[in-house]
Amino acid sequence: MRASVLEGPDPPRMIRGRRVVLTIVATVVAISAGVGATVPLLLPEIRGPQLVSVLALPPTPLGYALYGGLTTGALLGVGLVAVEAASRAE
């Protein structure tokens, strides 16, 4: 597994690329869930979201947070799986 070295006044430390990417993905998913939770607060007349056009979620902050987090996680997850498959094909 490859790793990058950060240089500075402290001894070099190794940062694994996979961990950085997963941390960024988790942060983006958490942000999208947080933004989703604010939607029904700002637009109280909005209808509830539908997850994959099958599962109707309630028009509450929790429903929109689930929708935002799960949708973003699924989309980013598909991209990560594609990148992983491409890197193993080399």
Q: How many structural domains does the chain have?
A: 1
pLDDT of 14 higher than 80: no
pLDDT of 8 higher than 60: no
Give per-residue pLDDT as tens, 15-24.
678 888 899 9
9 pLDDT band (50/70/90 cuts)? low
Buried b (16+ CB within 10 A) or exposed e, 30-58: eebbeebbebbeeeeeeeebeeeeeeebe
Q: Provide the whole-model pTM.
A: 0.74
More confident call, 71 vs 4: 71
Give per-residue pLDDT as tens, 38-49.
999 999 898 888
Roughly how many angstroms between the first and final C-alpha of the chain, as a whole number? 14
Q: Could you list the residue range(s) of the whole structural domain that residue 16 is in?
A: 3-89
Q: Do 55 and 47 meet the contact criterion of CB atoms below 8 Å apart?
A: no
